[in-house]
Each structure stands twice: as C-alpha cells, then as structure tokens.
Amino acid sequence: MKKFFCVSGAAVLFWLLGGCSFEKTQQVQSVDTAMGTVVQQSIYTREADSGAARDILELTKSLEQEMLSRRLDSSQVYAVNAGAGKPEGTEVSEELAQILRTCIRIGEDSGGALDITLGPVVQLWDMDAWAAGERTGEFQPPGEEALTEALGLCGRDKMQLWEDSGESSQGNGGEAEDHVDASVGGRVILSAGACLDLGAVGKGVALDRILVYLEEHKEILGAVISLGGSILTYGEKPEGGGWRVAVMDPFDTSAYVGILTLDGGWCVSTSGDYQRFVEAEGVRYHHIYDPSSGYPAQSGVAGVTILSHSGLESDALSTACFILGVEAGLELAERYGAEALFVEKDGRVTMTAGMEQYWSPVGERIPE
Ligand code: ADP
Ligand code: MG
C-alpha cells in the first residue's frame, strides 16, 4: 500500500483577518499557484484597482522561470547545471551569485546540513513527483548503490563560485563574504555530474523580492503573502492588531499547534516531514535529505518554523534546522539572529527565548 501526500508546500498556513471596514482601503485577496505551491495573498491598498496581487504572482513566476528552476531550461540554475563539467563554468547574475554565497555560508555554518549541491540525490528520490501523485505504481526507495553514486556527485567541493573580480569562495570557509562586491556577478563552476537544487530557498528568495515590491508601492498599507510554507507579513492592518500566522500541527494538518502574532516585516518559513512525502510499507519518506546519508533526515523533528527579516535566511534555516534537530538547530538560528520553533515527533514544542513573545499555543487567548 502506498500513500502519497503533498500539502502543496503549506506548512504554516493561514491567517486570521478581520474584514476591512476602513474608508478608501481595499482588501484584495487571491489564491493562485506558482513555484509548485499555493500562493495566497491578502493586500490592503488605497488603490481601488490595484494590480498588486497580479504583479506579485508574476514576479514569483518569473523568478522561478528566469533564475531558480532546476527543470525549466529558461533559468540560470538550469544553465549552470547544463554547464557542469565545463572548466570555464557558467556566468550568473549578481543577484544569483549573492544568493549562492548566502547558501554556501549557511551550508558551512550548519555543518553541511543545508547543501544546495544535493541535486543528484533530490533527483534520484524524485519526491516532488511521487508526493504530487505524478508518479504512480509501487514506490521503492533508491537502492544503496544508486544512492552512493548520487551522493558522490554532491558536496561543497563540487561547486566553485568565482566573483567577477577573479576570486573564488571555494574552500575559504566562513570567510566567503569578505571580498564580496555587490556590483559584480559571478561564475559557477560545477564538477561533471553535479547539480544545484535551490528548492530549499526558492520561496524565501521570492519573499525578499516581494518585500521590495511592496516597499516601492506606497499605496499598499499592509499585506500577508503566503508561498506554501513561507509567509511574509508587511505593514499594518488598517483595523490594527498584529498579523496572525498559524503553525500547522504536523500530526493533523487540518489543525494547528499555535498562532504567531506578528508585526509587519517578518518572513516565516516552515519545513516539515508532513509537507511532501510518500509512505511505503509503514515507512514515511519525505523530501528533506540528510546530506551525510542521502536519506530523508531523521532528527526527531516533525516541523520547524523560523522567523527572520530575510526570506532567504528564514527558508534556508528552516531546512537546515529540520536536519540538525533541536539542539544544534536552536544554536544555528540564534547565530543568525533568527527565532525558531520546533515541534518534535513526540509533540514537544521548543523555541528560542525571542519567539515566546509572538507565540500563543492553541487553546490560549490570542493577544489583540
Ligand atoms: P518546501 O520547499 O517544501 O517548503 P524546504 O524549504 O524545507 O521545504 O525545502 C525542501 C527542498 O529542498 C526539497 O524539496 C529539495 O528540493 C531541497 N532539499 C532537500 N534536502 C536538502 C538539503 N539537505 N539541503 C538543501 N536542499 C535540500
Ligand atoms: Mg527551506
């Protein structure tokens, strides 16, 4: 018996909004799909005929098509992967180079838990297709030999990122950012067979771009934008009070374990073993892999939610913390000035001290 499951990426999930009765303020709401997940938007704007929701959807789609997708041949990441094995590598934009640098740094700071070179392993498991029900038949985990072969193509040493200045962030550990000049792009050199996968950070990157858009549009007073498991709060609600973001119950995805009450400017990312998985012979195989084994990570965590002012960091850290487990995950989040909340497999909830002020467990009165 095979069971597959896909919460369309939605980990944290819904917001509780009051109606908008304020004169001249419109509330625009929409639900679409992009980046393989559900995009839910709620925007408070002074403009009667606001195209903001459409613009935000478009910019999310174009980010995937032009930069991040591993599958679409129009993207920079696709070109980088297609160029694997070429000694001269592939040129990338300044924005992508910056994203890759941050991923490399968080990869190093997480002891290799976040590994954007894990493409060969991600492809081998093909969990997105299984979880979405696109692949049918009897699910079989990959064989040892195939997994060892795929793992052999992954790792920090399979990728070099050269600045246009001619310097490489290869092999210089946490110092990778020291010589970064934001005005230059870069060149990525991948070993033959290597493959980048930015699935762990794509939605967070999109939230960062969406924040820039919102800040440029002064008619927008407040918004909450959800891309599957990553949510952005922005500005204020006309009727006052914080934005409420529920944290899904990993054991019952129709329920939630608590609510975060947040002001504008937060990115909230959740990674969990209940988002995309397939079950075969009583074993759950999910979509976040431990780079040391190539198997779905087993750290005792069912779900972890990260709060950060950076979308990229919130998304990268949620994936890394899921793999690291509670103790090392808390340390990593604190190192980045982020807040973290873990739900363990035994139901225990553990969080950073700074998270407590935002958190109301289910059943408790939610602050206004
Ligand atoms: P989601 O994208 O479902 O919200 P995550 O942000 O945790 O969840 O990212 C999971 C995705 O990241 C996987 O689908 C895969 O593409 C990629 N991935 C899986 N394991 C790792 C890892 N250890 N390091 C980096 N990326 C990973
Ligand atoms: Mg992530």
pLDDT tens-digit map of 151-203: 999 999 999 999 876 667 654 443 444 444 445 689 999 999 999 999 999 99
Contacts of residue 145, Cβ cutoff 8 Å, sequence gap at least 6? none
- Three-state DSSP at 326 gives helix
Q: Which residue, judged by its Cα, is nearest atom 6 of ligand 1?
A: 200
Give the number of the ligand closest to the Cα of residue 36: 1
Closest atom of ligand 1 to 291 CA is: 23
pTM: 0.91
**Distance of alpha carbon 93 from alpha carbon 85, whole angstroms:** 20
pLDDT score at 266: 98
Helix, strand, coil percentages (3-state) for the chain, rounded to 5, are 30, 30, 40
- pLDDT surpasses 60 at 243: yes
User: What percent of the chain clears pLDDT 90, i.e. is strictly above it?
Assistant: 75
Using the mean position of ligand 1's atoms as its centre, give its distance from the Cα of residue 62 in Å.
20
Closest atom of ligand 1 to 276 CA is: 3
pLDDT band at 23 (very low <50, low <70, confident <90, very high): low
Using the mean position of ligand 2's atoms as its centre, give its distance from the Cα of residue 201 in Å.
5
Please, what is the Cα angle at 224 between 220 and 227, to 5 degrees? 125
Task: State which amino acid sits at residue 152.
Answer: G
In the structure, which protein residues have their CB atom closer than 6 angstroms to any atom of ligand 1?
A: 9, 113-116, 118, 122, 197, 199-200, 228-229, 271, 275-276, 287-289, 291, 315, 318-319, 323
Q: 294: alpha, beta or left, given left = phi > 0 and alpha = psi -120 to 50?
A: left
Selection from 163, 155, 314 nearest residue 226 by Cα: 314
Using the mean position of ligand 2's atoms as its centre, give its distance from the Cα of residue 236 in Å.
26
Lowest mean pLDDT among 20-34, 187-201, 230-244, 257-271: 20-34
Using the mean position of ligand 1's atoms as its centre, give its distance from the Cα of residue 250 in Å.
17
